[in-house]
Amino acid sequence: MSVIKMTDLDLSGKRVFIRADLNVPVKDGKVTSDARILASLPTIKRCLEAGAKVMVTSHLGRPTEGEYAEEFSLQPVVNYLTTL
């Protein structure tokens, strides 16, 4: 059985939805360990370089379903990603 790899696909002009493990520690609104972010970066970059429109989703912590809590916002992760 052959496995299709992302490198086998023509991603130009396609929408790519990436469910990444970006559940990283955050303290005072700053990412304190970027290991998981850096592990996801090659996939995100590969898609962007191939001309794809990329949507990245993840979670942070263990929020209560249906309740918004600022402490579980992915904004610190977004801010960190924009610096890379």
CATH code matching the domain that covers 6-81, chosen among 3.90.380.10, 3.10.580.10, 3.40.50.1260, 3.30.565.10: 3.40.50.1260
pLDDT by residue (tens digit) across 48-57?
999 999 999 9
The half-sphere exposure of 59 on its side-chain side, counting CA atoms within 13 A, is 6
Count how many residues are written for the chain.
84
CA 45 – CA 24 distance, rounded (Å): 19
pLDDT by residue (tens digit) across 31-71?
999 999 999 999 999 999 999 999 999 988 888 888 888 88
Phi, psi of 57 (to 5 degrees): -130, 155
